[in-house]
Structure 1
Amino acid sequence: MSAEHDPIDRARRAAGAVLDPELRRSLDELEMIRDVSVTPNGIRVEVALTIVGCPAADRIEREVRAAVARVSDGPVEIALSVMSPEERQALITRLRAGRQRGNPFVPGSLTRVIAVTSGKGGVGKSSITANLAVALARRGRAVGVIDADIHGFSIPGLLGLVDDAGRTVRPTRIDDLIVPPVAFGVKTVSIGMFLREGDEGSAVAWRGPMLHRTVQQFLTDVYFGDLDVLVVDMPPGTGDVAISVGQLLPHAEVVVVTTPQRAAADVAVRSGLLARQSGQPVLGVVENMAPLTLPDGSVLELFGSGGGAQVAAALTTDDEAIDVLASVPLSAGLRGAGDAGVPLVVSDPEDPAARAIEELAERVLRVGRDLAGRPLPFGVR
């Protein structure tokens, strides 16, 4: 019997093509299809999950059943088991592709790093980060987000990574490998995912060394896979984390977020200057909460105007002109979408703020580095 007509082969190929929702690789590539057999009742598929209590177990079972049912005539039985320690270690080795444990986002990597920063809090930096990341993912990019705002983390809530009980969704641990949860196509890690249950609302009272170690672990211990873009939500100001990110990701391109208010703009300039001191290039400025055109045609300048242009002018040098990449108008929808955990670019893409962020994503891609002509890290064996 040819493979085309072999029911076991058809079922194996269908089951193997299903993607693991966390690792974003096929079950065949991950060697999670342990056995396929024909029984008196139909087709039986045994799937080896990575860990006991795998949070994606129900989804994997459901999608494998549906995939096999499409190529089989009879009932489909799915048997879930768990990988042995040896199988799990072999999987981790394959995922790391032989690379030593360390920061995969060093200068020269194919992942573009965008650090979104601000001079002060309350300017909507995290909302811009979350929506920008989702907008990039919707353009077919593989995107990850690191919430480096340790003391004021908010990315999990903005991306809806909260369960029905209000608890932050936690990463999956495969031995020493941390697999980040995915929301709206974006892989995300935040300190809020590692706090003990019940401590989510408490303050993270850490100082310099702990902050540096946390950011370092996010880079080295979290398995993001192959990313096109890594977006880092920075804490406001020029403190310990900003310095650590400058050391760990010296090639990150910095987007400075400000409001139109002069007081916010004056402080925002400092975050761009610190980036330059670390060797990080300033990609541009985003003006958030910009003037809003009302239905009657009048313009509401709640926070004034011109702050974005002021920051761009202050950061422009004889060798480099800095532009305002986007002016995002004041939007109740942006605030409401953040509270609901559904980014505005998804919930209401026609909102003027959503359209401005979509244009920001386009501009980030247009002004970013070009991989054309760069040697890819492939060797001849």
Structure 2
Amino acid sequence: MTKIISTHSYRGGTGKSNLTANLAAGLSLRGHRVGVVDTDIQSPGIHTLFKVDPHALRFTLNDYLWGKCGVAETALDVTAGVVDGIGREIVPDGGKVYLVPSSIKTGEIARILKEKYDVEDLNTGFHDLCSELELDYLLIDTHPGVNEETLLSIAISDTLMLLLRPDIQDYQGTAVTLELARKLEVPQLLLVVNKVLESFDFRELSQRVFASYRTPVAAVLPLSTELVQIGSTGLVRAIHPEHAFSEGIEAILDAIE
């Protein structure tokens, strides 16, 4: 049975897409079949981390929601995008990463925002994708904040991973999302503190966050020069496997598995 993991943050700019992509890479390196769905339809971007040309796409999530294609037709095999620092493909046999991207065309973004879509179609699409691609894990990259799509993603998740930065606004927003997740009875809730300056005491910060929310902190991830240099051009977990960020990704995967 496929395990569904949603990554979410109350505010934008937390590094949610970057985390989702690196988790997908990490799972594939452990030999799993992984699907990633970019449901941040208003501002999609996770495709860049897998080096996907958005102008060469035949179908996107938008097309599926408009009834133009089946959900599996939108899925791209991006396993070849999981490469090390010298461009070698490193995913072992059996490991796979599939990406369902959202459209970056302004007209299509405007249309879906204006016309909306049936959230139940999204729910059906998630389950069909898991079945048709025989996925071990489905990762849902959600839109920040709380809306109907976000609530659906949270409600069907086996694991909800909430990202926050060491910032008072993130702390307050995370409390709101946690309350919703508990009401929806999500089986596993995990916190990830991201973009933390290396001068911080990571252990003390982790303990403080846990004390505030009484929710496990799966990892505290650093903001470092290497991460800034890579930006959205690659996957840190694959390029720098010994980096503290990559070690944090592995800690999160241990908590999930």
Q: TM-score, normalised by structure 1?
A: 0.54
Separation in 1, partners of 2:256, 2:243: 20
Are 1:313 and 2:211 counterparts? yes
Separation of aligned partners in 2, 1:279 and 1:204 = 33
Name whichever of 214-223 and 134-143 sits farther off.
214-223
Match of 2:193 in 1: 287
Aligned to 2:238: 346
1:35-73 per-residue CA deviation (whole Å, 9 max, x = no partner) reads xxxxxxxxxxxxxxxxxxxxxxxxxxxxxxxxxxxxxxx
Gaps of 5+ in 2: 80-95
State how many pairs are aligned: 233
* Residue 237 (structure 1) aligned to one of 142, 145, 157: 145
2:184 aligned with 1:278, yes or no?
yes
> Are residues 1:226 and 2:124 paired?
no
Larger radius of gyration: 1
- 1:250-291 Cα offsets, whole Å, 9 max, x none, are x43111111112221221222222112222134311010113
1:176/1:121 CA distance change after superposition, 3 Å: closer
> Which residues in structure 2 correspond to 1:161-176 (within 5 Å)?
161-162=52-53, 167=55, 169-171=57-59, 176=70
Q: Which amino acid aligns with 1:206?
A: L
- Corresponding position of 2:45: 154
**Conserved? CA contact 1:261–1:306, under 8 Å:** no
Give, in angstroms, the shift of residue 117 of structure 1: 0.9
Q: Does 1:324 align with 2:227?
A: no
Report % sequence identity: 25
Aligned partners of 1:115 and 1:214: how far apart in 2? 17
| C-alpha distance in structure 2 between counterparts of 1:284 and 1:153, whole Å | 24
Alignment partner of 1:186 out of 90, 93, 97: 97
Query: Structure 1 residues 178, 227: CA separation in 2 closer, same or farther (over 3 Å shift)?
Result: closer
In 2: Cα distance, 1:207 partner to 1:310 partner: 42
Q: Residue deviations 1:100-140, cap 9 Å, x none?
A: xxxxxxxxxx1111111111111111111110111011011
SS at 2:180 equivalent: helix
Counterpart for residue 356 of structure 1: 248
Tell me the alpha carbon deviations over residues 196-225 of structure 1, each in whole angstroms, 9 at most, x when there is no partner. Answer: xx5489656526951625623532554652
What SS does the corresponding residue of 1:136 show, helix, strand or coil?
helix
Higher RCO (CA-CA < 8 Å; seq separation 6+): 2
Q: Aligned partners of 2:187, 2:110: CA distance in 1, in Å? A: 32
CA distance in 1, matches of 2:171, 2:243: 25
- Root-mean-square deviation (CA, aligned residues, Å) is 3.2
- Conserved 8 A contact 1:119-1:237: yes
Structure 2 counterparts to residues 51-130 of structure 1, below 5 A: 110-130=1-21
1: distance between equivalents of 2:124 and 2:106? 20
TM-score between the two structures when normalised by the length of structure 2: 0.77
Superposition map of 1:196-211 within 5 A: 199=106, 203=110, 206=113, 209-210=116-117
Aligned residues of 2:219 and 2:249 also touching (Cα < 8 A) = yes
